[in-house]
Structure 1
């Protein structure tokens, strides 16, 4: 079960994470807790796999090269192939979809050559071809979501 602090961190800092030399201290100050509480809560969220990274999201192809990729993987091998793909540092995220092309991921590299070499390695190591879907038009979708606090409050108590 998530504590109020966990939910507030998820609510308030999905998109507006402080870009300062001391972001966790700044978050702690704004919430009226100490920095170690914020760091501990972030570790908890990571351990529970509710967050997997804290970092910027940069529009596709503004820095380096990126591509959406899909694969058709037999169900019995899906987790194994997803785990293999997740080991590549160039993979932003991967996820299952209910489709013949059931494994999708975003690949980001410093240039197109690096990106294509990485895709070739993924195909070679997995044994499955990739469907490469380069960006043709850029659309922004806000993927933030608001969590409901159990006590009906939308903020931590100030006591």
Structure 2
């Protein structure tokens, strides 16, 4: 039996609608729910269910840190499999690390470093190298892309 979660029409409508952002008002979820023809409690319950099922892995704002004077940098490391969990704990302990993913690749640990000023990126990556004893490959953003996922209803 296949346990893969299936998105129904309402789940798809919720995801599609929320990609346009939340309204700035006292009850943004209620306003979105009304737009979808449901109540606020149903919308919130559906979001929790989508997160619990792993259909959504993150739900939150995206900031253009550069407009605030800061920088993001994608980074990757080649971590021996037997050390992966320990190295992940070390990397994730840095407050500048926004998120961290394991990949099936020679570069098997990918993470994003976010700093309030551009000079702090290099310093942070050097501190991570020192803490882990492993080289960090920095991949600073050259161009910004906005990718939206719209699901057919």
Assess same fold via TM > 0.5: yes
- Of 62, 66, 74, the residue aligned with 2:67 is 62
The 4+ residue runs of structure 1 with deviation greater than 6 A are none
Structure 1 residue 30 corresponds to structure 2 residue 35: yes
Runs (5+) with no aligned partner, structure 1:
149-153, 155-159
Q: Distance in 1 between matches of 2:146 and 2:24?
A: 26
Distance 1:10 1:76, change over 3 A: farther
- Of 9, 22, 47, the residue aligned with 2:14 is 9
Q: Distance in 2 between matches of 1:119 and 1:74?
A: 19
Q: Distance in 1 between matches of 2:85 and 2:59?
A: 20
Residues 90-115 of structure 1 deviation map (CA, whole Å, 9 limit, x = unaligned): 33333344432222222111113443
Q: Does the 8 A contact of 1:72 with 1:101 survive in 2?
A: yes
Runs (5+) with no aligned partner, structure 2:
none
Could you say which residue in structure 2 is the equivalent of 1:106? Answer: 112
Size of the aligned set, in residue pairs, is: 145
Could you say which residue in structure 2 is the equivalent of 1:48? Answer: 53
Normalising by the residue count of structure 2, what TM-score does the alignment of the two structures yield? 0.74
Distance 1:80 1:147, change over 3 A: farther
Q: Distance in 2 between matches of 1:35 and 1:4?
A: 17
SS at match of 1:42: helix
Structure 1 residue 145 corresponds to structure 2 residue 149: yes
Q: Kindly report the root-mean-square deviation, in angstroms, between the aligned alpha carbons of the 2 structures.
A: 2.7
- In the TM superposition, residue 34 of structure 1 has moved relative to its aligned partner by 0.9
